């Protein structure tokens, strides 16, 4: 069994809230997972990345340079914004990695894993080493989040959030958590689908449910349409207002029957107080040789 050691840009990814998604709607979760893997594989081909492992809903991969890794990550997130949205978290670090057919390990792997755990859905977090390599890039940019004491990492790690192409910029205070334990943020700021449905049923003609869901422009359109309908009804005695009532009723029904996982994907993933469960990172070598051989042997054949 031959192991290989190299300095590389290391990338960890995983889908935020995937376990809950599987529990609420297994078919939808499988669609999200398939979309994530298809996008990941195509972007890795474009930017010269090698996928070493599939770890449940996550992946471990390496790149020849930090620039290629971050460019790949940004393009991946831009693609995954499209419906159906995939709430992917990505962490990138430059360091030593040793891998063979049984797994991958090293300080570089551990640091990357911890940085990915800090990341917000739809974002890309990088370490200072990576930032130093991309800081003069033509279109890549990042903002500092400060130093972190990461679990089982001796030195403090300075973390940055990539801001290129509209990637989400997190609230620094909400990231100041210990990533070695499961964390639930307070539910403040979360949208409730039943509240939205009730608003649509009783006040939908005024766009109340759209304002509640953070869709301000749509809410304003509802108000304008209601005003126009009222004017038309008064002047022409036409039941135009009934059309708005029907639309609001349909919105209400759709919200009531929408699976919770799908509702959260649409309206809660970017909420400042969104509850996010962080899973404990398992040691890479805990996978069985048979499971790892199929994933990693592809690297050696290339």
**Model confidence over 189-242: pLDDT tens digits?**
467 888 888 988 888 878 888 888 778 888 788 788 877 777 776 666 556 677
Mean pLDDT of the chain: 80
pLDDT higher than threshold 90 for residue 299? no
The per-residue pLDDT for 66 is 97
Cα–Cα dist 134/63, whole Å: 14
Domains of the chain in sequence order = 4-181+282-301 (3.30.70.1230), 193-267 (no CATH)
Please tell me which residue, 108 or 103, carries the higher pLDDT value: 108
Please tell me which residue, 64 or 240, carries the higher pLDDT value: 64
The per-residue pLDDT for 235 is 62
**pLDDT band at 281, cuts 50/70/90?**
very low
**Model confidence over 168-189: pLDDT tens digits?**
988 766 664 443 333 333 333 4
Please tell me which residue, 264 or 6, carries the higher pLDDT value: 6
Please tell me which residue, 204 or 34, carries the higher pLDDT value: 34
**Model confidence over 265-279: pLDDT tens digits?**
677 654 433 434 443
pTM: 0.61
The per-residue pLDDT for 271 is 41
- In order of 18, 31, 59, 279, the CA distances from 56 in angstroms are 10, 14, 8, 12
Cα–Cα dist 61/302, whole Å: 14
Which residue bears the tokens 């004017």?
A: 231
pLDDT higher than threshold 90 for residue 70? yes
The per-residue pLDDT for 184 is 37
User: Which DSSP helix (H) or strand (E) runs through 182?
Assistant: none
Q: Provide, rounded to the nearest whole percent, the portion of the chain with pLDDT above 70.
A: 76
The per-residue pLDDT for 237 is 53
Q: Average pLDDT, stretch 120-128? A: 96
Cα–Cα dist 264/245, whole Å: 26
- Whether residue 84 is preceded by a cis peptide bond, meaning omega within 30 degrees of 0, is yes
**pLDDT band at 14, cuts 50/70/90?**
very high
**pLDDT band at 301, cuts 50/70/90?**
very low
The per-residue pLDDT for 167 is 94
Instruction: Report the sign of the C-alpha dihedral through residues 63, 67, 73, 79, in that order.
Output: negative
What is the number of residues in the chain?
A: 302
Please tell me which residue, 13 or 298, carries the higher pLDDT value: 13
CA angle 109, 113, 118 (to 5 degrees): 150
**pLDDT band at 8, cuts 50/70/90?**
very high
| 3-state class (DSSP) for residue 73 | helix
């Amino acid at each position: 069994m031959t192991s290989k050691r190299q300095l590389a840009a290391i990338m960890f990814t995983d889908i935020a809230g995937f376990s809950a998604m599987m529990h609420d709607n297994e078919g939808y979760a499988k669609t999200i997972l398939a979309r994530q893997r298809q996008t990941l594989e195509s972007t890795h081909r474009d930017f010269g990345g090698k996928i070493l492992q599939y770890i449940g809903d996550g992946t471990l991969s390496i790149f020849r340079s930090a620039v290629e890794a971050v460019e790949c990550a940004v393009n991946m997130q831009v693609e995954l914004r499209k419906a159906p949205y995939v709430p992917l978290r990505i962490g990138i670090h430059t360091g030593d990695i040793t891998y063979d057919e049984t797994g991958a390990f090293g300080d570089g792997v551990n640091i990357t894993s911890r940085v990915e755990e800090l990341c917000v859905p739809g974002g890309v977090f990088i370490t200072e080493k990576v930032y130093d390599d991309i800081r003069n890039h033509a279109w890549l940019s990042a903002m500092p989040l400060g130093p972190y004491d990461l679990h089982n990492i001796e030195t403090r790690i300075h973390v940055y959030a990539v801001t290129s192409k509209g990637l989400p910029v997190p609230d620094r205070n909400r990231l100041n958590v210990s990533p070695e334990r499961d964390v639930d943020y307070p539910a403040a700021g979360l949208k409730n689908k039943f509240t939205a449905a009730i608003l649509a049923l009783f006040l939908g003609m005024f766009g109340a449910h759209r304002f509640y869901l953070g869709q301000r422009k749509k809410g304003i359109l509802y108000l304008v349409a209601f005003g126009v309908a009222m004017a038309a009804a008064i002047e022409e005695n036409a039941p135009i207002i009934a059309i708005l009532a029907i639309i609001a009723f349909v919105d209400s029904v759709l919200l009531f029957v929408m699976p919770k996982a799908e509702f959260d994907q649409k309206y809660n993933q970017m909420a400042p107080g969104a509850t996010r469960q962080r899973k404990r990172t398992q040691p890479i070598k805990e996978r069985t040789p048979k499971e790892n051989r199929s994933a990693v042997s592809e690297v050696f054949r290339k």
